[in-house]
Every structure is written in C-alpha cells, then in structure tokens.
Structure 1
C-alpha cells in the first residue's frame, strides 16, 4: 500500500511498500525509552553481531568497512541500515530483514516512594492525581499498593519531583525547590542514611525508599488587584470573577480559571491577568506579596446578528410530501450585552423558515416563525447561578414533528455550574444543574393530509417544571474524542387537571461514551436514551397540553433519532394494528378532536445509537463513519418487546468546519418496515452529531 508523507498508510491506492528509515528510528527510540523506564538505564542497541555482518555485506552490498557491531544508544546519528529503493518493475519486490540486538545491562529497581509530609496537606483531588501518577509509572498496583522491585529511571524521578513542585506552586510557593533522597537496605531491620538520589551511582541497585525534602522559600500571597481597560463594566463584576483575593496564595490554576470566567461572560475581546512583584524579596522571607494586574478590552455592547441560508430537512409523516425538503432559513437578533455594566443581556429576535419553492404558504407544515424578547443574567444574586428568561410566540412543527402548533410561552431557566464551587478541586468540572419553568398557551392542528389543512384546536393553558442534572466529562462537546456524557431529568406537567389532584410527569435519561484508539484515529461512540411518562390522564389530554410530552422516534435532528426511518414513524401503531384499522383515529370532521393529535405517540421510549468515526486520509478534516441506530416506542413499560424494535444501519461523511463543527451527510437503511414507512434508503444532511 502507498505511504504518504506523514507516514499514514493509504488504503485507497496500491503501491510498493516503502521502508522509511526515520520511522524505524522512531520505533527504536521508543523501545530504548521503554526499556529505560523499566530500569535498564544503560540499554544499548546494535544491528548485528560479527557473524551476521556478512549477511548485510553480501545481500545489500554494504561497504565492508562499515562497522555494524558497535553498541549504541544514539540511533539518529548511528545508521546501521539503509533504505532499499523501490524496484522499477512493480511485480518485483526487494525485501529487507532488519536485525536488531539489545544489550540490557543491569536493572535499577525501587520498592517504595514516600511523599511524607507533603501528602498530609493534599486534598482528595491531589491524592487521586498522585495515585494516578504512581500507577502510570508502574510503581503501585491497581490497589495503590507499592510494587516491589519496580523498574526505576531518571525520567520517573523527574516526574515525581515535578509533581511535588506543581503541588507546592499551587500553594503559593513559587520559588520552592525539591530534592529527592534515596536509601538502600543495609539489613532486614535498617536502611542506609539518606543521600541525594544519583541514579548513575545507584546503577543496578535496589533502592528501598525514595523521599523528598523541600526548600519552600517565601509564600506568594495576593495583596491587591489592579484593573485596567474597563469602560462600561462595573469593577465589582470583574473582581467577583477573579478567584484570587487579598491574602489568598497565588495559584496558576486560579489565574487560568479566572480568565476563563471573564471570557465566558462574552463582554471582553481580550482578558489577561499578570502578577507583578515576584522575586523582589529575599529567599528566606516568609511572605512574598504579589499584585495582580487585570487587563481587559471590552466588546461593543450592542450586537446585531443576522443570517440567511438554506437547509435540508426530513419530512414529517405526511401523505403529500416525502423525503428531503429544501428550506430557506433566516434570523435577526439584536441585543445589549452589558446592561448597566452588570453583564446583563437584553434583546429580542425573529426567525422564519419555509419551503424554498413555496414561500408564500406561511402556514404550511414546513413554515415556522418565532419572535420575542429575552433577558440573561449570568451571575444571579452575585453567585455563579445563571438565569435566562424569554417570552416567545412561535408557530411551526412540534419537536417530534407530530403536529403543527401555535403557542405563546414564557420560559425561565436557572442553571448552576458546580466547577467554580468545587475549585480548586475538580469534582464539579462538567457538573451542571438546570431548573426550567415554562408557562404556555398552545393550540395545535394535525399535519396536512392529501393537501387538506385542518383547523386549530382551542388554545390550552399549561405549565412545566423540569429539573435536570448534567454531567459532561467529554473533552469537546462538539467533536468529542474521549469522555462521557450523562443527563437525567424530570418534567412535571401542570394543566387544568392539576386542580383535581392528577400529577403527570416524565422521566428521561441520556448517556454517551466516547472511546478512542490508534492515537484518536478511531472513535467509537455509543449513545443511549430512555424515557417514561407517568400520568392518569389520557394520551389525548396530555398531547393537548404539550405536543411533545409523549414519545415518538425516527428521523434525524429530532429528540429520538433513528436515521433509517422518517420522522415519528416509530410509534405505538404497528403493522398488525394498522391492518386491522386500529390506528385510524383521524375523524372525518374538519374540526379536529383531541384524538386527532395523538398521532400514536407512546409513554415509553428506548433509543440507542452506535457510531464508529475515522479520518478519510484523503482530505484534511474529512471523516468517515459507520453507524447503527435502534428505537422503540410503546404504550407503557410493560409493553416493551423485541417485536417493537426498529433498527437501521448506515454510513456517512463528516467534514469538520473551523472550530471543529461537524457538517455531516448520512445514508441509512431501515432493517424493518413500520406501519407508515417501507424499507428504503434515507438521506440526511445536518450539522452536529447525533446524541
């Protein structure tokens, strides 16, 4: 197979194999470093012994004066083989047998690493990092117990020393120095005196104990904050975002998170925190006062956003339009991002989408409108709680594309990120709590059938209270390459029946795990979703209150996607039921009944997706994918069975736009028919990955 310049093998073109000397050098260096990490500090390599040298001289025409039997560790300067050029005739090959011998020498070993007294002041997070480091260096086992006779090297000693230095600098001791001490075993009951570790002198020895001593120097403490550059923003807001205050130890992690907090407000074009005053007092002083200088450059407070574009969308369950539709999409938003200098955001916007070939049909199933004001307070009550409120009138398809609706809704979302609460520990990183309160006045109509567009129902008032807990440990939420994502939520529905003591609620669970192999060249991403509705109300009553309260599955870009099927065709209506006319709930009257809007949605749903992603090796940022989706919807949990599972398989292309935003095109094939769709290829063109 062909080998590209970056040493990646191309599987799409045929060529003779090429031996790359630089790549072999890298492999030899890796082997040498691995053996050194196991304690063989003086390992060396040679190409062959005297007896085997004649093989090279005869078969490859190597100059006999070249010495191939010299032991060496510098494989970059000492060349013991040469690259064989490709033969002119494609069907002829020249093969090289590469002979490499290693001389291990003596092995330096270690029995125990002692972090006392430093571990007495470490928090749980730092202790976990210490154990992970020792496991990675193969000095302790999975139970964190010391491994006796473990290989020891200068690189491992340096990593242990740097870990302690990083810990002390986090405590404010920026001029601290760490010295490692080694002890050998004299007899069964005693150890030798502590000596500064010199692994050259201890070559081949068994080191019984490694300990560390520190010269701390003065402790750097913050004694003030100077702010430059703010024009509109209140100084109080800036000081609140900085996690260092007078008397706190200077910490590089705290500076980085403070800068991240300020950038996250969206108010500043640039943010920089710089300490001044370091190194200006003697080494034997106890406290080193440091002043922080915060330089910011504000963005313009007024922002106007607009866009106009095209998009492809899946069609809903309908008898008149099928497949993909081309829509134009537009939006206009104006906002003030720093009201009264407090970081508040106030604005409003309007958006509209419709079929490109029929723009005058402003109430068709594909026409959508939204307009209204919004308000955002990123630091509610001077805490790290965020409040977002909006009042919106919208018209368009429901979230699961089962009906067409008009509604006026007021929504408030209170969210809290626990990372700032947990800092300097990291248990809160990625942990977020959200509480959503929404009041709505909503009316709906069934989707058009045979060009017949039916009237809207009477407007129905309702409200929702939905707490959600999110734990996101992915390295990148847009194009993740490792980590996991977990969210669990409850959604309480309030309607006129609440006064009768009837409580309705919905439970949802979503999870995703991302695994990476071959240096992140192969990504394996399984995702799972589950939902269940608990209520004494009928399906029609629930749907009239909230069009998306019950479940359907199928399609792409929806809540429960199964890419081999059209949107919402996976529901409680099976082929057997429809053959017996048990699914035809649409009445003949033009004025719709509540049962017309049920659309066979269910009270339980299970949705799973497995996707493998790998680069194409042809175009930079172009990835390929293979996937399998499965979904099922039933009337309740007891009705779940394998006959209701609807799987599909497919493949796709993902192009990573600047900022790692995936633009994807998928082709999927359903492995079963549904009551509303046959087995045929489905095409999807969308942004972002399926979750």
Structure 2
C-alpha cells in the first residue's frame, strides 16, 4: 500500500526559500514515520484462519522434489474458490504443503463518540413546570402565550428552539435564556428574559404638512409600552404612507432611541418632507382601440382638483388600484374580455418634483355574443316557467345575439331580474351568468340559469347604533314589517326614508339568513349625527348696517323625531322672534302638525311694520312619504307706520321717512289678518338637511277675506321648486362630490281692495337669501316721485322702491369639495330674477323712471324678460355650529346706484 503526502507553498518570497525547505523536509520525515507506524500496526493484525488439515506423521518426511508439487498432466487447475482436497489415507501419507495465504482484511477508521447533551437526554421526558423570570412589565401569562411547550407534554428540543425564536421575534426582549432541570418527575424549564426598555414618549421633528396628532394615530409605537424594534420599523413605513397620500413621494423618515432613567427611552422620528411630488403625465401603451382621453376620464390619478393650479395631483397606490379596476371595466364593457393591465412604470422627473406613469395594456380580442339564454330551473334541474313568463323575463335582458359583449349592461339587467324575484319574496334567488368563450371565433355564449329558492319572510328587524333616536322613529319610516314577505325594493326605500330624516350620518342595511333557510333577519346599522344646532350669522349692509341672526334648533327632540326651533334676528331695521314646534306623526298617525308663535318688527328707511301672531298647520301624507297635503291657518295683527319706533319696547331713533309724503293709498292698509293656506308638497330629497339629490316642490295658495274675519284681503299664490343633481362622489353627506342645484320661485299676490296689496305684503328681492350681489330688498318696482307733495320739490334719489306684486327668480349653483375631511366646499352661482308691478294705479299715476325700464311700474309681456342677473362664488364650511356661508356676488348690468360687488356671510343652508 502506498501513501503519498505532498506539501506545496504558493507564492513564497525568494529570501525565505531556506526556511521553506527546512519545513518541507521536517514534514516529510514526520509523514514517513507515521507511515511506518501504520504499517507496523497493520502487520500485527491476525491472519484469516486456515481450513483444518489431516494429522501429520511423527517422522519428518523427506523433502519433496519440485516435480511432485505440480499437478498431473491433463488435470484441471485448482480454482482458488474450490474446496480443499480430502486428506490422504494413513497407508499413503502425503507431505503437507503450505496453504495459500488469504488477503488481509481492510482496517476500519477510528470511531468518534460525542456525548449527548442534556437537552437530548431529556427528549421524551414530561414537562412538569415552566417558570418565567426577569419580566417586569410583561406578565408570565403573556410570555407563556408565545410558547408551544405546555406542562404535561413531552419535551422536545425542536419545540424549545421554536419557542425561543418566537419570544425573540415578539420584539419585547433583548435576551432570552432557558435553564432546564431534569429530575425523576420530569423536566422543569425556566425562561430568563431581559425586557426591552419602556417607551416614555414619542417625538416628531421636521413634519410641517402633517400634524403630530395624525402621525401619532398612524404609528404602532405608543407611549407607556415596551419598546419594539419591528413596531418602530412598521411605524416608519406608515409615516411614509401618510406622506405619500399627500403627494410627498420622496419623504424620508428615520428614528433614534434616546435612553432615559429607569429603563425608559424616548423614540424620536425625524422627517425630511422634501417637495410634494405630483403626477405630471400618465402615458398608455397598447391601447389601440380605446383612446387615451376615454381612459383618463375613468382615472383619478393624474386628475387635479380646482385648487391644483395645473398640477396632476398626488400619486396614491389605493387610488391607482381603483383606476386599474375602472379601466378594466371600461374594456369589459367594450367586449375585451381578456384585457390585462400591467404594473405601472413610475419614474421621477429630472427635477424630482413629479412622476411620470406609464401603463402597458394588453387589450386582447373583442368578443361578440353568440347566444344568450335565460331560463329558470327547479330544484331537480328541470326547466320551468319563470316568474312573469319567459317573454317578460327575456325582455328584461337588453342584450341580443350578435351584440358586442358589455359586462355592465349584463350585470345591470341581471340585477333587475334578481330584484324581480326578491320583490316577490325569493330572497335566495340565484341568477349567475355562465359564459363560455370561443377564443377562435371571438364569440361568447352567455347562459343564465335562475333558481328562485324558497319564499322568504322577514323574521326579525334589528336596529343598531341609535343611542338617542327611539326605535319607533326609525321603524315608522319603514315600508317593511316582521312576518311579511321579503321585498328588496321596500327594504331600499325604507333605508332612503330613514336617511332622509337628516338625523344620521349613514344608514346601512344588512340582510342575513335567519333560523331557517326561508327566514331572513334585517340589520339596520346607523350612525347618528348631532341634530341640535346653534346657528349664528352676521352681515353688513348700507341699509341695515350690522345684521345678526341666531337660531337654536333641535331637529330630533328627545329622540322622538319632533322638531323645536327658536329663532331671533336683530339689526338696526329688523327684529324677529319666533318659536316653532313640528310633530311629523301627530298622535301616531299619518297626519303631521306644527305650530308657530312669532313677533316681528321691520323698520325700513320708508316705513316700519310690526306683527304679532300664530299659526297652526295640519298635513296628511297622500303618498307616504313623498307627497303631502297641508292646511295652515294664520292669525296675526299688523301695524304699518312711518313713525320712528324701531324696537319692540318703544325706543326710537331718528329715521328720515319719505313715505308720509308719497301718494301710496296702500301704505297704512294694516290691521288684523286671518288666512288659510292649503299647500301641496312633493319631496324626494335624499337628505332634508344636506340634500344632494332629489326634488322638492311646494305649491300653495293663501286666502285672506272678510268672510273668515280678516280685515286685510288678498289672494297669494306661490310656487317653489328645488332640484338637486349629483355629478360625482357619494351623496347624502356634506362635503362629498359635486352637486348641481337649482331653485326657482314664483309669487303672485292680488287684492280685491281698490287700495291694492298692502305695502308690507309685496315682494322685495335682493340679498344673500335670494338675489346675491344686490343689497337687501333693493330689487323691485320704483316710482320716480318727488320728496314732497310740492311738484317743484326735488325728486327722490333713484326713485321710491315699492316692490312688486309679481316675482320670479332662480338660483343655479355648482357646489364642489375643497377639503373633504373638514367639510369645506366651494360654490359658483348664477342668479336671475325680478319683481314687477301689475296694479294699474301705480302705472297710471306715475311715469316710468328714466334710468332703467327694469324697475318700471308698468307691466306687459316684455317685462318678463327684463331680469336682474348676478354671478359670483363662495366658500361653505359645514362646521359644528352649522353650515357657514361666505359669498361674493357681482351684479351684471348694474344700475348707477348699485355697487360693483357685495360680500355677505351667514349661517344656514341656502336651499
């Protein structure tokens, strides 16, 4: 056996060759000695035992000749594996020959035995106790909750290793040690932990765009908790997410941990906000069949708001995911059923202040409908006559064979089919399409099997979230009841009626299967809003100087759905106090009742009017709750005067009045008024306090005559219509989406008296309540009279404003969100209207004013197109005190005595 040992030195310096040779020679001698020792040890190994031989004779035989040892000629050679020949007989003894030597056995290498650890020796022992030490704020139970090792189980080293790792990954400990004691009874484990410090405080620096409170709410690290490094790392990412939502795509967040006494630390987050990053451009690749303009219309990413000033707005991942779904839906609606939109490529612009997004679209083929089949199956799978008949059912599906596939239309039609069955009580109806795509012919078969399921009744109606409002106030708005058949339309109508009360932020309905498959439980979950309001307003006017209004109103009194309002308005020329109570369900019936007591004082530059009275109104729902008929009876005492009385308490102020010298026969036409006013109201608004969709129409006629005891006689007709149309975003919530609003009001009053309509009953327009951009009560008919009865006296500047007995005005405005989270909205508006005079006595006795025919006292058909117009903008804030209105109005084609613009503000909804 040969062993070769070589040694090699690589890269030795020349001056060290002698040392290397010496080391190599010494190594060779040691290797040679080891080989000799190994060879000697091998030689000492015992040889393999031989096969037994015949006993040898006592005499020494003569040496055999060499020929005698060879086998005879022609004999086969002995195989090395053949058995040894039998021994010769004693009469002819043969000399013994030495047996061939067998090969020596191979020598096995040395065996290394490693002693078992204590953990391996304890494998299988029962765990008799688990102890925890070193914990100060973390309880023993909290530590043991991370352990899979339990008392009474068999001990395993693998499980113990996992438990130590789980405690470390929890992030609450700097060190974890385990001591194990093995005894006759079993194994005792003791976990020795060293807790991480306690978080004393959280500090932020560098954050100017996001307040500390909002950042504190977003992060996971909280004061008075154990320091967790993983929680800090997650908090860093959440802070970045907050900034990315605001467009700060490059914001950097780092942290430091400052040690304090008593094993406490202060975690400090350092924020570098950088510049706000906006979406500069969104590009599309692969959109061969749908233009970029249509794709961009579905996207919110890259679309700036009115305050973005040309910027594309911030990039947000959640917003972009929504955009991808909307673009995919657009393609599905065009028949591209295999469309794929890839991951966006986002690149920073060179100035690092914007990003460019590129979207790769794989449109795929466009599919047509080859066959569309709608039918109903019974429980056994047999086709049966559907609800309403096959023809009526097929007509509900508007798609036809050969049309391009449109997923939205199919889904909408299927929803109508489901509603048909659910309105009949089949809540569990199934109508899911089964499309079969033929990619070769680019056609799709749509099979819609319907399975109606059992007739379902409403088992229970539960209301959640109404901490103040009583259940009966909510239930009486429902068109469903327990025990009745389920109806999806009635459930949705009930939800809308409850939401229209204006008491709640939201109303959600969740149906669930009840105690049996044919029973359903309805859960109405609501979120109440504050229904009590304290509204104040103020404004300035060249006529009234300072104006202040205040209103205390509870729209949901004691949770009973009743309304109580106390209103007061005070100015140098106007003082109003009124108390109003409204009961929508009088004596738990469909009748409504309201009553009002009021005292009013109006002091203008030309006359004053004081009124004291009360009214009672009864109404009945002709179509609950959309159409109501009401009758109002009013009794009031009016007094018109040109004296200087300006308050309820008789104090006076110096007011120069010109009306005492004017030939107005109806100026002092005052006294007792008793009137009846029937009204018809149609109301489909989604919310009575903050409407964003629906219609409100009010048509009324007020009649005051001597036949019912009235000293003042007149007949007044009024119509008002409010229209609300949402243009985007959710509805029913202040500060959500664009809303287009239109209000139109018409009024006409006549009197059988020769004196005409009393001056205080005539229409005066102008101000923030009807025609913005004009001062209060400055729009109407004007008479070019002199300041005195003397015809040579100076004329009244700009004429005497006597209002009109016919009025018409409209307000068109677009309301849009500015800062949704705090309820700040903007508005742009356009107002138009006028007040005309149709009574002959003013037209016959006075000429038309010379400065404009829009204020002429003479009326004809052409007067209806002589309108006053204005435009403007404003800001509205839905504050806790109520909706604040700040509006700037600019009159169009203004008259010489009118201002360029008028700014006013108040509290309360416009309409």
User: Which residue is equivalent to 2:633?
Assistant: 437
- Confirm or deny that 1:280 pairs with 2:280: no
Matches within 5 A, 1:55-454: 73=340, 75-76=342-343, 81-87=345-351, 100=360, 102-109=362-369, 120=388, 140=398, 149-152=402-405, 157=410, 160-178=413-431, 180=433, 197-200=434-437, 204=441, 210-214=447-451, 216-222=452-458, 243-245=479-481, 248-251=484-487, 254=490, 278-280=514-516, 288=518, 310-313=536-539, 315=541, 322=543, 324-327=545-548, 329=550, 352-355=568-571, 365-370=573-578, 376-380=582-586, 382-390=588-596, 392-397=597-602, 403-416=608-621, 418-420=623-625, 428=626, 431-446=627-642, 450-451=654-655
Give the count of matched residue pairs.
556
Q: Could you tell me which runs of 5 or more consecutive residues in structure 1 were left unpaired when the two chains were aligned.
A: 44-72, 141-145, 181-196, 282-287, 316-320, 356-363, 421-427, 587-597
Distance 1:522 1:274 in 2: 28
Q: Is the 8 Å Cα contact of residues 40 and 106 (structure 1) preserved in structure 2?
A: yes
- From 672, 675, 700, the equivalent of 1:461 is 672
CA distance 1:257–1:159, change in 2 (3 Å): closer
User: Which residue is equivalent to 1:687?
Assistant: 907
User: Which residue is equivalent to 2:9?
Assistant: none
Displacement of 1:388 in angstroms is 1.6
Distance 1:484 1:209 in 2: 37
SS of corresponding position for 1:564: coil
Displacement of 1:568 in angstroms is 1.5
CA distance 1:688–1:8, change in 2 (3 Å): farther
- Confirm or deny that 1:568 pairs with 2:821: no
Q: Is the 8 Å Cα contact of residues 883 and 908 (structure 2) preserved in structure 1?
A: yes
User: Which residue is equivalent to 1:551?
Assistant: 763
RMSD: 5.7
Displacement of 1:199 in angstroms is 2.3
Q: Is the 8 Å Cα contact of residues 718 and 748 (structure 2) preserved in structure 1?
A: yes
Q: Is the 8 Å Cα contact of residues 108 and 206 (structure 1) preserved in structure 2?
A: yes
Which structure exhibits the higher relative contact order, with contacts defined as CA atoms closer than 8 Å and separated by 6 or more residues? 1
Q: Is the 8 Å Cα contact of residues 21 and 82 (structure 1) preserved in structure 2?
A: no
Q: Is the 8 Å Cα contact of residues 555 and 561 (structure 2) preserved in structure 1?
A: no
Matches within 5 A, 1:669-684: 669-673=890-894, 677-684=897-904
SS of corresponding position for 2:331: helix
Distance 1:401 1:168 in 2: 68
SS of corresponding position for 1:441: strand
User: Which residue is equivalent to 2:746?
Assistant: 530
Matches within 5 A, 1:486-635: 486-496=696-706, 504-517=714-727, 522-538=738-754, 540=755, 542-543=757-758, 547-548=760-761, 550-557=762-769, 561-573=770-782, 577-578=783-784, 580-581=785-786, 600-616=802-818, 621-635=823-837
- From 635, 646, 652, the equivalent of 2:868 is 646
CA distance 1:121–1:609, change in 2 (3 Å): farther
User: Which residue is equivalent to 1:184?
Assistant: none
Q: Could you tell me which runs of 5 or more consecutive residues in structure 2 were left unpaired when the two chains were aligned.
A: 1-274, 280-300, 377-384, 645-652, 661-666, 730-735, 791-799, 839-858
- From 304, 314, 333, the equivalent of 1:9 is 304
Displacement of 1:562 in angstroms is 1.3
Distance 2:311 2:473 in 1: 65
User: Which residue is equivalent to 1:48?
Assistant: none
Q: TM-score, normalised by structure 2?
A: 0.49
Q: Is the 8 Å Cα contact of residues 342 and 360 (structure 2) preserved in structure 1?
A: no
Deviations 1:200-237 (A, max 9, x none): 468746568855432x332222578899999x999999
Matches within 5 A, 1:26-45: 30-43=326-339
CA distance 1:199–1:397, change in 2 (3 Å): farther
User: Which residue is equivalent to 2:160?
Assistant: none
Q: Is the 8 Å Cα contact of residues 109 and 152 (structure 1) preserved in structure 2?
A: yes
CA distance 1:585–1:205, change in 2 (3 Å): farther
CA distance 1:3–1:619, change in 2 (3 Å): farther
Distance 1:74 1:332 in 2: 53
Point out the more displaced range, 509-518 or 397-406: 397-406
Q: Is the 8 Å Cα contact of residues 345 and 376 (structure 1) preserved in structure 2?
A: yes
Distance 2:775 2:623 in 1: 39
Displacement of 1:665 in angstroms is 0.8
CA distance 1:26–1:678, change in 2 (3 Å): closer
Displacement of 1:681 in angstroms is 2.6
Displacement of 1:514 in angstroms is 4.1
Displacement of 1:394 in angstroms is 0.8
Q: TM-score, normalised by structure 1?
A: 0.62
Distance 1:254 1:274 in 2: 14
Q: Is the 8 Å Cα contact of residues 244 and 255 (structure 1) preserved in structure 2?
A: yes
Displacement of 1:507 in angstroms is 2.5
Distance 1:485 1:401 in 2: 39
Displacement of 1:241 in angstroms is 6.0
Q: Is the 8 Å Cα contact of residues 553 and 563 (structure 2) preserved in structure 1?
A: no
SS of corresponding position for 2:746: strand
SS of corresponding position for 2:752: coil
Q: Answer with 1 or 2: which has the greater Rg.
A: 2
